[in-house]
Every structure is written in structure tokens, then in C-alpha cells.
Structure 1
Amino acid sequence: MQNAVNAPGKHTSRRSYDARRRRQLAEESLRTVRARARELFLAKGFGATTIAGIAEAAGVSAETVYKNFGGKPGLVRAIYEDSLLGAGGPPAEERSDLAQLTSTDPAALMEQFGRFTTEVSPLGAPVFLLIREAAAGGDATMAALLNEVEEARYRRMLHNARQLVGRGLLRPGLSAREAADVMFTCTAAELYETLVLKRGWSAERYGTFVGRTLAANLL
């Protein structure tokens, strides 16, 4: 009788474990797809990279890639969004919001923004430049994605600026939109492209420059 009572629970636990394990494996597989896609896109460009090549590199079927990402534009969007998370555990946006809500030292906060830029730009800027290049080559889907990510980045900067103005951390008289414009400029992939990719600055030097430029124009 005891075995009869316990058996259903054991089976349910086993099924739950199996389902959880399948989800973990599926997530790992999709992370591998995004990683291999990033490598191929940045090495070969948008046009020369194929779904078949990505699938082969990731060890999955092309059908799996299409099912989960819808094709190359969806993959580029996914790897760009991944880059915005940063590399420091919790998503960079969450850490940025927390810093803005808790910091009482505006100069230290600008330095921290510079460090976030050091972390995110090496991941995000190359993908943004890939999108820009594909858009310039006439790909309509990439042109639409370019506009989308730029608008999203500006909305994020305006969100940051409004929080800082609301807390009285910026120079008196500076509007949220003026502050957002400064922040939008300092986080542009084109600035990273100029100083790091073309002029050979380290990411750390670039982040320090961004932090000091923000402080000079916002405080």
C-alpha cells in the first residue's frame, strides 16, 4: 500500500526533472546558435553568412534556427539584444537603474556609466556596425532594425536622463532631453568605432573618456 501511494509522486518528480532538463538543453542549444551566428556574422558579414552555415557550426538543423529566430534578421536582433546585457551577471540596464536610484555622488555615477560603456560597447558596437553595413547595402529588414535599435537606445537615454534630472543630480537648468542627447552621443557605436577600432584605444580608456565627457557636459 505504501508503494502504491509513493509511486505517483516519484513518477511526477521524474517527469518534472526530465522536462526541466530538456528546457536547459534547449536553452544551451540556442545560446550556441547565437554564439556561432555572432562569430560568422562578424567574420563574414550579413550577406555572406547563411542559415545553413550557422546551423552546421552550431550542430543543429536549419529548421531549428528558422523555428526559433525566423531567419537571419531575427538572429541579428537576438545577438544584439544579448550584447546589451553586458558581461557582469545581472543585466547592465538593471545595474544602471540601480546605480541611478541609489547614487548620491554625480561624478562617481558618471564614472560608473563609463564602466558600463566599457563593458557593453565591445559586445554591442560590432553588431550595431554589422546592422548599419547591411542596411547601407540595401537590406530593408536591416534598415528597419537599424531604426528600431537607434530609437530604443534614445528612449533608454531619455529614461536615464529623466531619472537623473528628477533626483537633482545634473547641472541646474539642464533639461532631460538635452541630457539624453549628450548620453545618446556618448554611447554611439560610431564613437567606439572611431576611438577603439580606428584609433586603437583600449576599451578601458574609451570608458574613462565617456565617463569624463558625461561629467563635463552634464554636471
Structure 2
Amino acid sequence: MPHNVNASEPPTPRRAYDARRRRELAEESRRTVLARARELFLAHGFGPTTIAQIAQTAGVSPESIYKNFGGKPGLVRAIQEQSLLGAGVPPAEQRSDLAQLTATDPLALIEQLGRFTAEVSPLAAPIILLIRDAAASGDADMADLLREVDDVRYRRMLHNVQRIAARGVLRPGLGAQEAADVMFTCTTAELYESLVMKRGWSAERYGTFIARTLEANLL
């Protein structure tokens, strides 16, 4: 005789698929890959570093790196974009925009911009120098990326200047393009390389120098 099933007993629900946990694990894996790739690129250079080496140190498959980043150029681009976030929360660009909108003292604003430069440069400058050196060696992808990075940085500096100018902070008679050129020069990786990496300045001293240079040329 067949066993009677209690019709009123609800079926055992399937365990809900934890999509959020999967996203967290994927993001954690992504951060690990970028961190290991950064270490290897800066230690050995762009050319000698292989996807296989990065995958091994990150504990992932080479195929997953190609799928998520498209190879070494995509990895370097992702590392560079990550570096622009800075070391604080929210990302440095958001904090910079907020300072430009809310600061009431021009000198205080310039000091803040100097501090943002000191925060971001230790992360971004070494990667830009990596891109520069790879481009100089003849790597076409890195040459394209270097132009892209410079273009994005200039547009960001022009954006900063336009916001500052709209508040009447810039020195009278100073055009937006010239002011953006000053900011563009003050944020070059080569300047960080000269003063911090070669001359041993601290990031804080470097940020103060940038603030003083901006103050002398923009206000």
C-alpha cells in the first residue's frame, strides 16, 4: 500500500542561491589578482611578467585572467584605474570634487589638492612609469594605454580647473587651459619619480611641494 503523503506539509524549500556571496568572492579574487599582478609587474617589468606567473601567485587559472581582464594590457589598465581611487573612502576623485564644491578658503582647497596628490601618487605613479617604460620598449598596447592615461589625466585636470574657476578662485587673467597645464605638470609620474623615488622625499613633503607650486601659479 502506497505511503500517504500529508498534503498539508510544505515542501522542503531549496536553499536560496547566495548571489551576493558569489559577487563578494569574485571581487575578492579580482583584488587578489590585481595585487599579485602589481607586485610582479613592478618587481620584474611588464615584458618578463607572464599571465601564468600572475595566475599561480594569485591562486587562479590563466583562463580566468584572460576572461576577466583580456591579458596583460587589461590587467595594467585595471591596476591603474584602481590606483586612482586612492587609499581612503570614498574614492579620491569624489573627495576632490567635494572639496572643490565646498571649500571656502582658496588656500585650504589648494592644500587639500596637494594632499590628494600625495595620497594617489604612490599608487599611480609607479604604474604609469611601468606603462611608459613598456611603451618605450616598443609595446604598441602600452603606447596606446600611455596616451589614454595622459588624456584622461588632462581631462581630469581641466575638470578641476573649471570647477575652481567657476568659484572665482583662479588668479585674474589666468586661462583654464594654462591652469590645467600647470595641474597636469604637477601630477606627472616623472615629477614623483624625481623627487620621491630618486631624491627620497616623503609623500607628505611631496604633497606640500605640489600645494605650494599650485598656489604660486594658480592663485
Report the TM range for the smaller structure's normalisation.
over 0.9
CA positional deviation for 1:26 = 1.0
The residue correspondences of 1:48-197 to structure 2 (distance < 5 A) are 48-197=48-197
CA positional deviation for 1:176 = 1.0
Q: Is the Cα–Cα contact under 8 Å of residues 165 and 175 in structure 1 kept in the other structure? A: no
- In the alignment, the residues of structure 1 paired with residue 9 and residue 46 of structure 2 have an alpha-carbon distance, to the nearest angstrom, of 59
State the percentage of identical aligned residues: 74
Q: Is the Cα–Cα contact under 8 Å of residues 73 and 142 in structure 1 kept in the other structure? A: yes
SS at match of 1:168: coil
- In the alignment, the residues of structure 2 paired with residue 116 and residue 3 of structure 1 have an alpha-carbon distance, to the nearest angstrom, of 62
- Please tell me the residue identity of whatever aligns with 1:15: A
CA positional deviation for 1:15 = 2.1
- Please tell me the residue identity of whatever aligns with 2:16: R
- Please tell me the residue identity of whatever aligns with 2:100: Q
Report the equivalent of 1:4.
10
Q: Is the Cα–Cα contact under 8 Å of residues 86 and 92 in structure 1 kept in the other structure? A: yes
Which ranges of structure 2 fall in alignment gaps of 5 or more residues?
Answer: 1-6
- Please tell me the residue identity of whatever aligns with 1:49: T
- Please tell me the residue identity of whatever aligns with 2:206: Y
Task: Describe the superposition over 1:11-32 as per-residue Cα deviations: whole angstroms up to 9, x where unpaired.
Answer: 4xx425x221111111101110
1:216 aligns with 2:216: yes
- In the alignment, the residues of structure 1 paired with residue 208 and residue 137 of structure 2 have an alpha-carbon distance, to the nearest angstrom, of 34
CA positional deviation for 1:110 = 0.5
The residue correspondences of 1:22-41 to structure 2 (distance < 5 A) are 22-41=22-41
CA positional deviation for 1:139 = 0.1
Task: Describe the superposition over 1:53-108 as per-residue Cα deviations: whole angstroms up to 9, x where unpaired.
Answer: 00000000000100000000000000000000000111100000000001111101
CA positional deviation for 1:155 = 0.3
Report the equivalent of 1:15.
16
Task: Describe the superposition over 1:29-62 as per-residue Cα deviations: whole angstroms up to 9, x where unpaired.
Answer: 1110000000000000000000000000000000
Q: TM-score, normalised by structure 1?
A: 0.94
- In the alignment, the residues of structure 2 paired with residue 43 and residue 15 of structure 1 have an alpha-carbon distance, to the nearest angstrom, of 44
- In the alignment, the residues of structure 2 paired with residue 173 and residue 104 of structure 1 have an alpha-carbon distance, to the nearest angstrom, of 21
Which ranges of structure 1 fall in alignment gaps of 5 or more residues?
Answer: none
- Please tell me the residue identity of whatever aligns with 2:146: L
Distance 1:2 1:25, change over 3 A: farther
CA positional deviation for 1:2 = 7.8
Q: TM-score, normalised by structure 2?
A: 0.94
Task: Describe the superposition over 1:117-166 as per-residue Cα deviations: whole angstroms up to 9, x where unpaired.
Answer: 11000000000000000000000000000000000000000000011111
Distance 1:4 1:72, change over 3 A: same
Identify the structure with the greater helix proportion.
1
Q: Is the Cα–Cα contact under 8 Å of residues 164 and 170 in structure 1 kept in the other structure? A: yes
CA positional deviation for 1:170 = 1.2
CA positional deviation for 1:174 = 1.1
SS at match of 1:15: coil
- In the alignment, the residues of structure 1 paired with residue 131 and residue 16 of structure 2 have an alpha-carbon distance, to the nearest angstrom, of 43
